Structure 1
């Protein structure tokens, strides 16, 4: 992707360890370009803003010993196994508003085309080969640093992907494909000359890293930081499943920018808590947005005033203010539901 790139490997297939590793690198390596290539073994990785209970098939996941972990970026849930290769790219950014997915997916698309595939970027954050999804991506902004990471389905088990994920049917309303099995593809299927995953790993490392790639490793202090973060955050039930408290009102809608689910707790007509869930491609956690709504009247005009001036693109990706309001205050009114979490 660029010259003077630091290359790191996690040395692990534990999803909690790998996500902690990635976060520590983002926090500590604050300048220059960094590339990570890594794998998770049998895991469902859900987006930071997703409702975990809505995204996984619990019975299937438990029966097959599949780990469930939450990452620190937005986007949708993905299944990982050792037929999947993940990449993480970290670099400096001056203007968050000018960031596009295409500037980061383009080198990956070019790498796949270098193997003779008709790869293309598509939709919000996907890479397709012959109309089938082989990669999904997400991003996170931390100060002047951005993390862009993605999956690369090389030789994954499509039956496991379909069984582990509970896919929102609205994703397929405007698509000709009607199932996960028909929508996803493996890179190995499209190769003109067969190669193993280790061969693909080495090819991608050279293609993305360039000639100035410099292999490195974590310091001992950073390694200890990874172990603490793994134990305290990514292994913790609270981080993965405990983020869906009881709410009085809930509504969800799929917009062009992704699925948005809003849950609101209100007392005496005022919002006491709000949560935003979905597969929208946020750059930052929506906590400041949720905080801005606390104490506001649960009325469209008052919520609109609270939203005005907030950088919604950072918190909700391509979902706009009007769409937030239409989700919270649909024509038929917000849906009331009995507390279930």
Structure 2
């Protein structure tokens, strides 16, 4: 199967264009994270194998007018049993078991089984805590890492308004921390640093988050996104309501269908519709990503911090450079134009629930192997993570997850920022910052105490 997966992902013909950089929230990153040396490249949103290359349009995949992709889709359908549109439409969508209490959740996670889990919570701290607990506590045979892994999991959740940035990113550079949309300024958007690497994304209830967990040995950077592309295209191609959108008239775009570009991004009609990140640790891995279905993209752009150009601030007729970050060790985000699938598919895929059902059915079909794979739902009223952690401690169960007790803390959000120097070109003040604390500055106006004062967004332009 693994050989077939490699064949599948390596032979997809990519027909989407490269994009101009714009102020939009999904991005590729440059791979500067400081993870353990053997996995640092994989713990970026996209590794170096996905970096942009200037390839001419004439060399793109329209050479065979999509026939290769059609053939591969048919082969993977036959091999994996990928569900057809009819199967998706008729399968029992109510076959979901609700997790009743924390102990049942712990037992499920620590069992040697495959399953899907769908969160009923819209709280990003809850959902990321769920993901982290499952990842850290999924069993694996450490004595024989080459043995078949039998505990693949698919986690699905929808976060309410949230800006999520990577473990090794600088929120002062990536996020508009002065935006009135953020909760800290009276708005509705949470600010979260996640446990995986990669770039900054923005969530709301029109966006679905998926997380696919497998072993480190079986990890394949392109496979799951390729699988999603195939599943969704099957659904769209079979839908009688799917009218191909031709508003983007480019010869290299397969209008109305998904593609995966050279960086591993999922695109549609030349727009990025999904951002991904990876984490590898504890001999396991997960690939989690987003899918834009019907999100408020106007608000998204206001949350992201603009990439300011030099010499664009004028004060009393004098032109200044706005600002400068230097001496950086963080991971930069590179912005790409985005759009919702609801618009791009002409309403054929218009709700998060549709996408969730497509993924659940596809996962079940892929991994069934004559065993029934259950789908569970989880709810904060039934599974309180503080109770989960308490039970693990009381029963001497190994649990290294800090999720719910850490993710919302100011220490995790700000003090885990990699070292940097910020120069405010308007005031002339500079600040060297390490672990969120100012360790050197020439600022004499703001009562900065060296090695004590936290760096603040009000010190910036």
With normalisation by structure 1, the TM-score equals: 0.63
Output the CA distance in 2 between the equivalents of 1:167 and 1:30: 43
Counterpart for residue 69 of structure 1: 192
Instruction: For 1:111-130, list aligned pairs within 5 A.
Output: 111-114=231-234, 115-116=236-237, 117-130=256-269
Asked if residue 185 in structure 1 is aligned to residue 324 in structure 2, the reply is no
Gaps of 5+ in 1: 171-178, 252-262, 266-272, 276-335
Q: Structure 1 residues 120, 197: CA separation in 2 closer, same or farther (over 3 Å shift)?
A: same
Are the aligned partners of 1:35 and 1:209 in contact in 2 as well (CA < 8 Å)? no
Tell which structure's C-alpha radius of gyration is larger.
2
Equivalent residue of 1:59, what SS?
coil
Q: Structure 1 residues 122, 198: CA separation in 2 closer, same or farther (over 3 Å shift)?
A: same
Count of residue correspondences = 250
Counterpart for residue 47 of structure 1: 166
Q: Structure 1 residues 246, 147: CA separation in 2 closer, same or farther (over 3 Å shift)?
A: closer
Are the aligned partners of 2:114 and 2:373 in contact in 1 as well (CA < 8 Å)? yes
Shift of 1:37: 0.8
Bigger proportion of residues as strand: 1
Asked if residue 236 in structure 1 is aligned to residue 409 in structure 2, the reply is yes
User: Given the alignment, which residue of 272, 288, 291 partners 1:152?
Assistant: 291
Output the CA distance in 2 between the equivalents of 1:231 and 1:147: 19
Output the CA distance in 2 between the equivalents of 1:234 and 1:217: 22
Output the CA distance in 1 between the equivalents of 2:292 and 2:267: 11
Counterpart for residue 24 of structure 1: 133
Q: Structure 1 residues 221, 142: CA separation in 2 closer, same or farther (over 3 Å shift)?
A: farther
Shift of 1:190: 2.3
Gaps of 5+ in 2: 6-79, 82-112, 141-150, 238-255, 310-333, 391-400, 424-430, 443-449, 456-461
Counterpart for residue 208 of structure 1: 363
Structure with more relative contact order (C-alpha pairs < 8 Å, separation 6 or more): 2
Output the CA distance in 2 between the equivalents of 1:83 and 1:166: 22
Shift of 1:207: 2.2
With normalisation by structure 2, the TM-score equals: 0.48
Equivalent residue of 1:243, what SS?
coil
Q: What is the root-mean-square deviation in Å for CA atoms of aligned residues?
A: 3.5
Asked if residue 110 in structure 1 is aligned to residue 230 in structure 2, the reply is yes
Bigger proportion of residues as helix: 1
